[in-house]
Amino acid sequence: MAKILSVLSGKGGTGKSTISAALAVSLAARGHRVMAVDLDIGLRSLDLLLGMENRIIFDIGDILAGRCELQAACVPHPKYPNLRLLCPPISSRAEPAKELAALIRRAAEGVDYLLLDLPAGLGLSVRMAQELSDLCIAVTTPDLVTVRDTRTTLDLVLKAGPKPCRLVINKVNRAAMRAGGIIDLDELMDRIGAPLLGVIPMDPYIASDGVSLPSEKQRSGQTQKILDAMAGRICGEYVPLVLRSL
């Protein structure tokens, strides 16, 4: 049974899908069996971010409607066959089915890590994180509104019982940080109440291309190293944070 990692944030656009795709690739590149599950029903993005948009024939809706078996909808990545992707319907306004959690548990069988890319908002994401996750990865940007919102989201998840949580601070402006112009990272961790998994700078490569299949140049770039280090920490390795070089 896989370790289930929920990637969540109450606010939209913090980078949940970008980070889910990158972590899925990094974990697979380390040789782990990974299932990436996009739960942004009607607004999916992992297929695009992983360069797999033309490979998805069946989705979660098809499984739940009995049109295909689970395995038929779990599509292997072209470069990393040990990474598979399970997508939600591309357009749907239907309420997520009650059987969704059970389906995800089944998808977690026989893999090492299942990454849940959760949608913005407090409903489905909080419920799925409560029910399924072994580790909640809360993604925030350094602005005060998103920080408070991330705290609220985690508080809601933890109402159902304690769970390990880690924090990712994304889209950090290097220049502002060097000049001390943004919220202090220690203070940010205190406000949210979760230890850091990683700090990711605002990166023009991500904004333009996504991070799914980085070119050699990008792979050797600092953002990729940060994402690989985050994957290492998820696997239990000690990888020190190097904040000064941001």
Binding site for ligand ATP (CB under 6 A): 12-18, 40, 45, 119-120, 170-171, 200, 202-203, 206-207
Q: How far is the CB of 69 from ligand ATP (least distance, A)?
A: 28
Structure-token match 């001390």, residue found: 180
Q: Which residue number, 121 or 232, has a Cβ lying nearer to Mg ion? A: 121
Q: How far is the CB of 244 from ligand ATP (least distance, A)?
A: 18
- On whether the CB atoms of residues 31 and 169 are closer than 8 A, the answer is no
Residues lying near Mg ion in the complex (CB under 5 A) are found at: 16-17
Q: How far is the CB of 26 from Mg ion (least distance, A)?
A: 18
Q: Which residue number, 70 or 246, has a Cβ lying nearer to ligand ATP? A: 246
Q: Which residue number, 141 or 177, has a Cβ lying nearer to Mg ion? A: 141
Closest Cα partner for 60 from 84, 24, 96? 96
What's the rounded Cα separation, in Å, for the pair 145 and 96? 28
What's the rounded Cα separation, in Å, for the pair 175 and 186? 18
Q: Which residue number, 130 or 170, has a Cβ lying nearer to ligand ATP? A: 170
Q: Measure Cα distances from 59 to 48, 66, 86, 157 in Å.
A: 14, 11, 7, 27
Structure-token match 């700078």, residue found: 201
Q: How far is the CB of 81 from ligand ATP (least distance, A)?
A: 24
